[in-house]
Structure 1
């Protein structure tokens, strides 16, 4: 239908979980597939003026995550382990499980609402120059800065590429205080650091 009309916009919702192990195998494989699908489909659809992108939200405060965070700690661990390999995620963040668990919890508490990626999609759909972005992976926080929107609670969620964010969630809180929040890791570095070549 979009090809026939000579215009369209397709969005995959993916995540940085396509770069590294996060939660479980199907999650990572699925997210990587969504990113590759956006890239490859964009090649075939750009001649027909159909834009195809993949969007990476940050940590999203879904109803499930919000409920888990407000439960007792023991219940949190059990609930999250049913959902995913959360113990492994905490170990990745910090070798000390308790510290890692609280850092992951804090990451979600600071995260974005489910409406924030929706705002990103609306901004892209309204952009007459969105074809310039076709085939790309776009981080919701980068789109928020570019298009000038905030989350429904008035906050600007932390950017996945922010060095401050990365330091805070790797246990370097003292160092994070000295790094300006606008300083970001380039996107190519994220891909390069995950390379298995």
Structure 2
């Protein structure tokens, strides 16, 4: 996972998976541009404490170079200016991670399209899909200037799983399956330029927001298992980050072009672990244990 001299853009790196990816790319030696809408001077509608400056500092502590840039990825001019800055300052882009989301407070569980708030649903789709396309439009021309570039589209669920399961609501379902398909489509275009696109999903991720939902911290997260036994399969955002870093550091990364993969699958392929030394394989667990209605038991799954 030696990425020294490489330049990465993690779009949507304020918290959660984006932060985990940025830190691990930095730990591998990369220069990482971290973007988002929450800064120390301006809060987003999330109203949360995490900022892009915090993420950049974590990248630096991990051994990389972290550069925070305030960007709304729905605003084409802001994304264009970001890419122009990367070109001027670094002259290259080796890894683009499209992790923009921002829909946690917008989707409603188990609501039909006619029951779900329409404005929130449409806003969710714009944040989850349009942002990725806007960013790809502006950033991919720089990525393909050098052979070997990598685009990682981050979503929730593998293509196989999402094709067979209804994901919470029509809006959430469309958003997450669209990103899987987006990576596949970009792969068709990028392979002509010696670049690759991959769809990457975490398992049940212990993001800052998820920990807050259960009223726990990373230090005592296992206390939440009493409330939700299947939470035992959960993983840290850094596990997803190590998956992204492993892809970026693989000289034969083109073999993954167009594929949908999970953090657990890549851990087995590359041999990395989560921070506690385990290798949670959440999507196999979700299919074989949780969805099958079996009692929670992570034996053989982490």
Which TM-score band applies after superposition, normalised by the shorter structure? Answer: 0.5 to 0.7
Instruction: Give SS of 1:53's match.
Output: strand
Question: Which SS does the other structure have where 1:181 is aligned?
Answer: coil
1:56-135 pair list within 5 angstroms: 56-70=201-215, 105-135=228-258
The whole-number CA distance in structure 2 between the counterparts of 1:157 and 1:104 is 20
Q: Tell me if structure 2 keeps the 8 A contact 1:11–1:54.
A: yes
**Which position in structure 1 is the counterpart of 2:289?**
167
Q: TM-score, length-normalised on structure 1? A: 0.65
Q: 2:260 aligns with which of 137, 140, 146?
A: 137
Q: CA deviation at 1:169?
A: 4.8
The answer to whether the 8 A contact 2:201-2:263 is kept is yes
Query: So what's the TM-score if we normalise by structure 2?
Result: 0.44
- By how many angstroms is 1:139 displaced? 1.3
Q: 2:152 aligns with which of 11, 16, 41?
A: 11
Q: 1 or 2, which has the higher helix percentage? A: 1
Name the counterpart of 1:51.
196
| Bigger RCO of structures 1 and 2 (CA < 8 A, at least 6 apart) | 1
Aligned residue-pair number: 148
**SS of structure 1 residue aligned to 2:198:** strand
RMSD (Å), alpha carbons: 2.7
Structure 1 position 103, deviation (Å) = 9.2
Question: Structure 1: which 5+ residue stretches go unaligned?
Answer: 72-101, 183-197
| Alignment gaps of 5+ in structure 2 | 1-141, 217-224
How far does residue 67 in structure 1 lie from its aligned partner after superposition? 1.6
> Is the 1:111–1:158 Cα contact (8 Å) retained in structure 2?
no
CA distance in 2: counterparts of 1:2 and 1:118, whole angstroms = 20
